Amino acid sequence: MPIEQGWLAGARRQPSPNCDERPAGEVSLLVLHSISLPPGQFGGEHIERLFTNCLDPDAHPFFAEIAHLRVSAHLLIRRDGECVQFVPFQRRAWHAGRSRWRDGERERTALNDFSIGIELEGDEVSPYTLAQYRALAEVTAELLAAWPALDESRITSHARVAPLRKSDPGPAFDWAFFRQQLRG
Protein backbone atom coordinates (compact mmCIF):
# COMPACT_ATOMS: atom_id res chain seq x y z
CA MET A 1 0.00 0.00 0.00
CA PRO A 2 2.15 2.90 -1.17
CA ILE A 3 1.53 6.46 -0.07
CA GLU A 4 0.48 8.80 -2.88
CA GLN A 5 0.19 12.54 -2.16
CA GLY A 6 -0.33 11.83 1.54
CA TRP A 7 -3.01 9.17 1.00
CA LEU A 8 -2.50 5.45 1.52
CA ALA A 9 -3.26 3.59 -1.70
CA GLY A 10 -5.99 1.06 -1.04
CA ALA A 11 -7.37 2.85 2.01
CA ARG A 12 -10.94 4.04 1.93
CA ARG A 13 -10.99 7.83 2.15
CA GLN A 14 -13.32 9.53 4.60
CA PRO A 15 -11.99 13.11 4.83
CA SER A 16 -12.25 14.78 8.23
CA PRO A 17 -12.50 18.52 8.76
CA ASN A 18 -10.56 18.07 12.02
CA CYS A 19 -7.11 18.79 10.66
CA ASP A 20 -4.91 21.63 9.51
CA GLU A 21 -1.42 22.35 8.20
CA ARG A 22 1.58 21.17 10.16
CA PRO A 23 3.48 24.24 11.39
CA ALA A 24 6.90 22.97 10.30
CA GLY A 25 5.97 20.08 8.02
CA GLU A 26 7.84 17.67 10.30
CA VAL A 27 6.77 14.02 10.69
CA SER A 28 8.91 12.26 13.29
CA LEU A 29 6.58 10.28 15.58
CA LEU A 30 3.93 7.60 15.16
CA VAL A 31 1.28 7.36 17.91
CA LEU A 32 -0.90 4.26 18.17
CA HIS A 33 -4.39 4.55 19.65
CA SER A 34 -7.42 2.35 20.12
CA ILE A 35 -11.09 3.24 19.81
CA SER A 36 -14.44 1.50 19.97
CA LEU A 37 -17.82 3.18 19.80
CA PRO A 38 -19.86 2.56 21.81
CA PRO A 39 -17.10 1.49 24.21
CA GLY A 40 -16.39 -2.23 23.91
CA GLN A 41 -18.39 -2.63 20.69
CA PHE A 42 -16.85 -3.11 17.27
CA GLY A 43 -18.13 -2.45 13.77
CA GLY A 44 -20.56 0.17 12.61
CA GLU A 45 -20.17 3.74 11.52
CA HIS A 46 -19.79 5.54 14.85
CA ILE A 47 -15.99 6.02 14.72
CA GLU A 48 -16.18 7.51 11.24
CA ARG A 49 -19.06 9.73 12.36
CA LEU A 50 -17.03 10.97 15.34
CA PHE A 51 -14.03 11.85 13.16
CA THR A 52 -16.25 13.69 10.64
CA ASN A 53 -18.34 15.59 13.22
CA CYS A 54 -21.50 13.64 12.39
CA LEU A 55 -21.93 11.57 15.56
CA ASP A 56 -25.53 11.62 16.76
CA PRO A 57 -25.46 12.43 20.49
CA ASP A 58 -28.83 10.70 20.93
CA ALA A 59 -27.76 7.37 19.38
CA HIS A 60 -26.12 6.16 22.61
CA PRO A 61 -25.78 7.69 26.11
CA PHE A 62 -21.95 7.82 25.78
CA PHE A 63 -22.18 9.76 22.52
CA ALA A 64 -23.74 12.75 24.30
CA GLU A 65 -20.42 13.13 26.17
CA ILE A 66 -18.20 13.07 23.07
CA ALA A 67 -20.25 14.29 20.08
CA HIS A 68 -18.98 17.86 20.57
CA LEU A 69 -15.31 16.81 20.29
CA ARG A 70 -13.41 17.87 17.20
CA VAL A 71 -10.94 15.01 16.84
CA SER A 72 -9.49 12.86 14.09
CA ALA A 73 -6.71 10.45 13.32
CA HIS A 74 -4.85 9.97 10.12
CA LEU A 75 -5.92 6.36 9.81
CA LEU A 76 -8.28 3.82 11.35
CA ILE A 77 -7.53 0.11 11.05
CA ARG A 78 -10.72 -1.87 11.49
CA ARG A 79 -10.92 -5.39 13.00
CA ASP A 80 -10.87 -6.98 9.52
CA GLY A 81 -7.76 -4.99 8.52
CA GLU A 82 -9.61 -2.43 6.41
CA CYS A 83 -7.87 0.95 6.46
CA VAL A 84 -9.95 4.13 6.53
CA GLN A 85 -8.00 7.36 6.09
CA PHE A 86 -9.35 10.64 7.42
CA VAL A 87 -6.40 13.02 7.04
CA PRO A 88 -3.50 13.03 4.55
CA PHE A 89 -0.28 12.16 6.36
CA GLN A 90 1.40 15.49 5.57
CA ARG A 91 -1.39 17.39 7.38
CA ARG A 92 -1.91 17.66 11.14
CA ALA A 93 -4.68 15.43 12.51
CA TRP A 94 -6.11 16.22 15.93
CA HIS A 95 -5.44 12.95 17.77
CA ALA A 96 -2.95 13.27 20.64
CA GLY A 97 -4.51 16.02 22.76
CA ARG A 98 -2.47 17.18 25.74
CA SER A 99 0.62 15.03 25.57
CA ARG A 100 4.40 14.96 25.92
CA TRP A 101 7.26 13.14 24.21
CA ARG A 102 10.89 12.98 25.31
CA ASP A 103 12.95 13.51 22.17
CA GLY A 104 16.53 12.92 23.23
CA GLU A 105 17.29 15.52 25.85
CA ARG A 106 14.28 17.73 25.18
CA GLU A 107 10.66 17.26 26.12
CA ARG A 108 8.19 18.17 23.41
CA THR A 109 4.53 19.03 23.61
CA ALA A 110 1.98 19.74 20.85
CA LEU A 111 2.59 16.27 19.44
CA ASN A 112 -0.02 16.66 16.71
CA ASP A 113 2.42 19.09 15.08
CA PHE A 114 4.88 16.32 14.21
CA SER A 115 3.11 12.98 14.66
CA ILE A 116 0.93 10.61 12.70
CA GLY A 117 -1.98 9.07 14.60
CA ILE A 118 -3.26 5.58 13.83
CA GLU A 119 -6.38 4.26 15.55
CA LEU A 120 -6.92 0.54 15.91
CA GLU A 121 -10.55 -0.47 16.24
CA GLY A 122 -10.44 -2.11 19.62
CA ASP A 123 -10.27 -1.58 23.32
CA GLU A 124 -7.69 -2.13 25.98
CA VAL A 125 -8.79 -5.65 26.93
CA SER A 126 -9.84 -7.42 23.71
CA PRO A 127 -7.04 -8.97 21.65
CA TYR A 128 -6.37 -7.19 18.38
CA THR A 129 -6.75 -9.26 15.23
CA LEU A 130 -4.07 -10.71 13.00
CA ALA A 131 -5.53 -8.67 10.13
CA GLN A 132 -4.98 -5.50 12.17
CA TYR A 133 -1.37 -6.35 13.01
CA ARG A 134 -0.63 -7.15 9.38
CA ALA A 135 -2.24 -3.94 8.10
CA LEU A 136 -0.51 -1.88 10.81
CA ALA A 137 2.88 -3.40 9.94
CA GLU A 138 2.37 -2.73 6.24
CA VAL A 139 1.28 0.87 6.81
CA THR A 140 4.10 1.48 9.30
CA ALA A 141 6.69 0.17 6.83
CA GLU A 142 5.38 2.63 4.23
CA LEU A 143 5.51 5.50 6.73
CA LEU A 144 9.05 4.63 7.81
CA ALA A 145 10.12 4.64 4.16
CA ALA A 146 8.35 7.92 3.40
CA TRP A 147 9.61 9.95 6.37
CA PRO A 148 13.33 9.57 7.18
CA ALA A 149 12.89 11.11 10.65
CA LEU A 150 10.68 8.16 11.62
CA ASP A 151 12.23 4.93 12.84
CA GLU A 152 11.10 2.07 15.08
CA SER A 153 12.21 3.94 18.21
CA ARG A 154 9.74 6.70 17.34
CA ILE A 155 6.64 4.48 17.45
CA THR A 156 4.73 4.87 20.68
CA SER A 157 1.34 4.57 22.31
CA HIS A 158 -1.17 7.17 23.37
CA ALA A 159 -0.65 5.82 26.91
CA ARG A 160 3.07 6.71 26.83
CA VAL A 161 2.55 10.29 25.63
CA ALA A 162 -0.47 11.03 27.85
CA PRO A 163 -0.08 8.60 30.78
CA LEU A 164 -2.32 10.39 33.25
CA ARG A 165 -5.13 10.71 30.70
CA LYS A 166 -4.97 7.72 28.37
CA SER A 167 -4.15 4.01 28.49
CA ASP A 168 -4.61 2.96 24.86
CA PRO A 169 -3.96 0.81 22.95
CA GLY A 170 -3.64 -0.98 26.29
CA PRO A 171 -2.26 -4.28 27.51
CA ALA A 172 -4.18 -6.20 24.82
CA PHE A 173 -1.81 -4.75 22.20
CA ASP A 174 1.11 -7.13 21.62
CA TRP A 175 4.10 -4.89 20.92
CA ALA A 176 6.48 -7.81 20.36
CA PHE A 177 4.16 -9.40 17.81
CA PHE A 178 3.68 -6.05 16.05
CA ARG A 179 7.46 -5.54 15.80
CA GLN A 180 7.86 -9.10 14.51
CA GLN A 181 5.27 -8.39 11.81
CA LEU A 182 6.97 -5.10 10.99
CA ARG A 183 10.33 -6.82 10.47
CA GLY A 184 8.63 -9.30 8.14
Regarding the domain delimited by 3-176, which CATH topology (the fold level of the hierarchy) does it fall under? Lysozyme-like (3.40.80)
Contact at 8 Å (CB) between 48 and 14? Answer: yes
pLDDT in tens, 134-180: 999 999 999 999 999 999 999 999 999 999 899 999 999 999 999 99
Please report the pLDDT score of residue 176 as a whole number: 98
Tell me the C-alpha distance between 41 and 36, whole Å.
Answer: 6
Please report the pLDDT score of residue 184 as a whole number: 87
Burial label for 165, CB within 10 Å (0-12, 13-18, 19+), is: exposed
Average pLDDT, the chain: 96
* Rounded to 5°, angle at Cα 27 from 132 and 155: 40
Contact at 8 Å (CB) between 31 and 100? Answer: no
Please report the pLDDT score of residue 137 as a whole number: 98
Please report the pLDDT score of residue 1 as a whole number: 82
Is 20's pLDDT higher than 90?
yes
Please report the pLDDT score of residue 8 as a whole number: 98
Q: Average pLDDT in the 57-68 region?
A: 97
pLDDT in tens, 86-130: 999 999 999 999 999 998 899 999 999 999 999 999 999 999 999
Could you tell me the pLDDT band of residue 85, with boundaries at 50, 70 and 90? very high
Contact at 8 Å (CB) between 84 and 48? Answer: yes
Domain ranges, ordered by start, for the chain: 3-176
Please report the pLDDT score of residue 84 as a whole number: 98
Active site residues: 119
Is 42's pLDDT higher than 90?
yes
Dihedral of CA atoms 161, 29, 70, 92 in degrees, nearest 10, equals: 150
Coil, strand, or helix at residue 35?
strand
Q: Average pLDDT in the 15-38 region?
A: 97
pLDDT in tens, 1-10: 899 999 999 9
Please report the pLDDT score of residue 164 as a whole number: 87
Strands 75-77 and 83-85: antiparallel
